[in-house]
Structure 1
Amino acid sequence: MRHFSPSDPTPRDLGFAMPPEWAAHAATWMSWPANDDLWFGHLAGVREEYAELVRTIARFEPVELLVRDEESEADARKRLGDLAAFAFPVTLHRVPLDDVWVRDNGPIFVRDAGGRVSLVNWRFNAWGGKFEWQHDDRVPEYVAAHLRLPHWDRPEVLEGGGLEVNGAGVGLTTRSCLLTPTRNPGLTELDYAGRLRETLGVEKLLWLDGGLENDHTDGHIDTITRFTDEQTVVTSVAGDEADANHPVMAKNLAELRGMTDRHGQPFRVVELPLPATRLEGAEGRLPPTYANFYIGNGFVVVPLYGDPNDARALEVLRPLFPGREVIGLSSRKIIEGGGSFHCMTQQQPAGTLWTGE
C-alpha cells in the first residue's frame, strides 16, 4: 500500500477532490462511545442515542463501526441486536480509540472523475491538545489498510468538521478554528487555501470568523453553517439578542450574503434557528445546534434536544433535501460531550477503490 507524501503528485495533480456529503456513499464510518469520564457520567444514555443513530443509518447504507475493546464490542452488539437484521450491513472493527469523533480524527475521502476513491490522512491532535488523541490519530491508517488504499499522508492538523465543501470547488471554514496556534502554527489563510486546493480540490476557500460559545473545537463550521447543495447554504441564527452567540451568528449571516461561488454567483442563504433553551453541562454552556446534521443515501439525520425549536428546525431543513427523508433523533445526552451526529460520522464515497495505478 503506497503512502504519498507532500513531495509526490498531489490529489489535485491526479484528478482527485473531496466530493460533497450528498454524493452517493459506499458506507458511513463511526466509532462506538466508550469512555464514561469523557461523557461526565452520561455514557449509558449516550450509547442509547448512538445506537439509534447507527440503526437509522443502517436503514439506508452500510455502517463500518469501530469498537475499541471487548467491552465496547459487547455493548454495541447488545444494544444494536441482530446485526444481520439491518437493511444494510453493520461491520464491527476492533481498533484502539480515544473518543467517538471520527469526523475529525478519521480520513477525508477523495474521488476522481472516473469514480476512483482514495483518502487523505491529516494529523489529529484533539483540537489543539485538549484531550487524548494518540489512538485516534491512527484511525485513517487503519481505514486505509482495511480498504487497501494508496493514500496521501499530510503533516498538517486538519479536522473534517472544520471544512464544508459544495462539490463545485468552494470550501467554507472558520478563522477561529483553523488559525489557532495549537493546530498549525504560522499557517495563514493563503497557506490553507493552497493546501486545500492541492489536496481536496477546494478552488475557492471562504472564511467566517467564528462559531458557537464554548465549542471545544474552537468553532467548527459543521456546528453552524452547512452547504445543502452547490448554491444553498444553511446557517445558524440566535433569536435572543442577549445571547453571546447572537452577534457572531449575525455577522456570519451578513458575510454569507455577500459571498459568491467560483463564478461570482451569490449563494442562497437560509436561516436555521439555534435551540431556544440554554443548556449547561459539566464544563459550562453546551453548544447544541441543528446544523450538525448528517447527509446520507436517501436521508438526513438531524439532532434534536427536546427544545421548542426542534420542530421549526426540521421545517427549515426538509425542503432543502428533496428526495431525502429528514429524520430527527434525540441528541440530548450526546451533546454533553460537545458534539453531535455530523461529528460522529464520516462518509466513504461510492466508487472504485483506487489501486494507485
Structure 2
Amino acid sequence: MSHHRDHRTAEPFPRVPADDVPHARTWMSWPSRRGVWGLRLGGVQRDIALIARTIAEFEPVVMCAPDDWTAGKARTQCGSGVEVTTAIPTDDLWMRDIAPVFRRDGYGGLDAVVLNFNGWGGKQVHRDDARVAERIAAHRGLRHTYADFVGEGGAIETDGDGTVMATESSLVNKNRNRGMSRDEIEEAVLDAYGADTMIWLPGIKGQDITDDHVDVTSRFVRPGVVMVQLPPADRDDAWARDAREQFAILSEATDARGRRLRVVPVHGPDTVRSRSSNFVDSYLNFHLVNGGVVTTRFGDPYKDAAAKEALAAAFPGREVVQIDVDRLMAGGGGIHCSTMHEPLP
C-alpha cells in the first residue's frame, strides 16, 4: 500500500508541514456565481461568512472576492475582523483546492507549490480558480513551482513528517492525470510535498465533484495517528463502504518512520437536517486554527457531543468550536474544503 523513498540528505528541502503548525493566516474565497450555486447562493454565502468570522477569532483571515461589488457584500457579512481583497479573483469558494500548497523551504522561509487545478477534472468553470495558486504566491512574494501532477489540496493529507495519504479515485484518474501510472503520480506527489511515503486509499470515482477527497473521511492528527469517520452500522451505501475500507487499510498501514498507524474512529451522525443527496455529514472536515479546531454540528445531540469530545482529546489545548454550515455541506464540501492555512515560516 505504501512506497518508501529516502529524502533525508544533508541539504534542506521544501516540505509541506502538518496543518497543526502555527499559522500566519487562513485564506478563503467568497462564493459569487449564480451559475454555480443558483438559488442556494445566499445560504452558502452566509455559511462562508460564519466560517470566516469564527476563524477570525483565532487568526487573520483573507477573503478573496472577484470584484468590488461582491467584495462589498463579503465585507458586510464577514465584518471588520476579516480582510477582503479583490486582488485575487475566484470562480468559487473551495480555497483548499485552488490555493497554493505552502511549504517550509528548509531555510527558515516559505515557498509554494501549485497543483495545477483543472476544475476537478474539468467538471466546473475555473478560469480564475486555475490562477489563484500562483496569484496568492505572487501576492505573498513567495517563490512558486508547479507540481508534476494535477490535483487539489483537499486530495492529499500530510503528517508533515514524511507521510502523505490520498485516494486513487481523485488522483489516478484520467480526468486529471491521463496517461500517468499510479507510481508516476506517487513520485510527483512525494516530490511536491517533500515526503517519503504515500498511503493509497481506493476511494470512489464519479460520485461527487472531487472523486472522493480524503479530507472528508480520514485526517492526520499527528505523525502516527489518523482519525477516520465511520458511518452508522446500518448504512451500506458506497460512501459508508468507502469509509470502512479506509479505516481497515489505515489500521494496517505504516508511515515513513516505520510506525504502525493508530487509527481513532469518530462516529458520523445518525441523523442530519439536510435532504440534499450531496450532503457531506463530516465532522472530520475540520480546519485547525491557532489555538482552536473549527468543525461542524448536525443536530444529532449525542453524536455532535461525541465528535467534539474526540477532537478535544485529539488536539489537547485547542478550543473546539462547532458551527452549523448545513448549506455549505449540502454543496458537497465543508470547512476544511473552503479554507487554506498559510503556515508561519
Q: What TM-score comes out, normalization by structure 2 length?
A: 0.91
17-26 or 66-75, which deviates more: 66-75
Counterpart contact for 1:288–1:339, Cα < 8 Å: no
Counterpart contact for 1:38–1:337, Cα < 8 Å: no
The amino acid that maps onto 2:24 is A
Deviation of the 1:213 alpha carbon:
9.1
The amino acid that maps onto 2:41 is L
Equivalent runs, 1:288-327 vs 2, <5 Å:
288-308=281-301, 309-327=303-321
* Equivalence for 2:261: 267
The amino acid that maps onto 1:261 is D
* Equivalence for 2:99: 106
* Equivalence for 1:349: 343
Deviation of the 1:131 alpha carbon:
0.7
* Equivalence for 1:167: 160
Cα deviations by residue, 1:28-65 (Å, 9 ceiling, x for unpaired): 11101112342341222222221121111111111121
SS of the counterpart of 2:161? Answer: coil
* Equivalence for 1:8: none
* Equivalence for 1:6: none
Provide the alpha-carbon RMSD of the alignment.
Answer: 2.0
Whole-Å Cα distance in 1 between the matches of residues 115 and 243 of structure 2?
29
- Structure 1 residues without counterparts, runs of 5 or longer: 1-11, 352-357
* Equivalence for 1:280: 275
Equivalent runs, 1:182-331 vs 2, <5 Å:
182-210=175-203, 214-244=207-237, 245-277=239-271, 279-281=274-276, 284-308=277-301, 309-331=303-325
Whole-Å Cα distance in 2 between the matches of residues 100 and 139 of structure 1?
11
* Equivalence for 1:149: 142
Whole-Å Cα distance in 1 between the matches of residues 290 and 163 of structure 2?
22
Whole-Å Cα distance in 1 between the matches of residues 245 and 45 of structure 2?
36
Deviation of the 1:211 alpha carbon:
5.3
Identity of aligned residues (%): 35
Deviation of the 1:90 alpha carbon:
2.5
Counterpart contact for 1:298–1:324, Cα < 8 Å: yes
Distance 1:252 1:111, change over 3 A: same
* Equivalence for 1:126: 119
Matched, 1:337 2:319: no
Cα deviations by residue, 1:139-160 (Å, 9 ceiling, x for unpaired): 0121122112221023521100
The amino acid that maps onto 1:63 is V
* Equivalence for 2:109: 116
Whole-Å Cα distance in 2 between the matches of residues 276 and 34 of structure 1?
32
Deviation of the 1:14 alpha carbon:
5.5
- Structure 2 residues without counterparts, runs of 5 or longer: 1-9
* Equivalence for 2:170: 177
Whole-Å Cα distance in 1 between the matches of residues 55 and 319 of structure 2?
11
Deviation of the 1:23 alpha carbon:
0.7
Counterpart contact for 1:193–1:202, Cα < 8 Å: no
SS of the counterpart of 1:337? Answer: coil
SS of the counterpart of 2:282? Answer: coil
The amino acid that maps onto 1:338 is G
Q: Which residue among 3, 13, 16 is the counterpart of 1:15?
A: 13
SS of the counterpart of 1:207? Answer: strand
SS of the counterpart of 1:41? Answer: helix
Equivalent runs, 1:42-61 vs 2, <5 Å:
42-61=40-59
Counterpart contact for 1:215–1:287, Cα < 8 Å: no
Whole-Å Cα distance in 1 between the matches of residues 309 and 133 of structure 2?
36
**Structure with more of its chain in strand, by fraction:** 1
Matched, 1:66 2:64: yes
Distance 1:71 1:91, change over 3 A: closer
* Equivalence for 2:76: 78
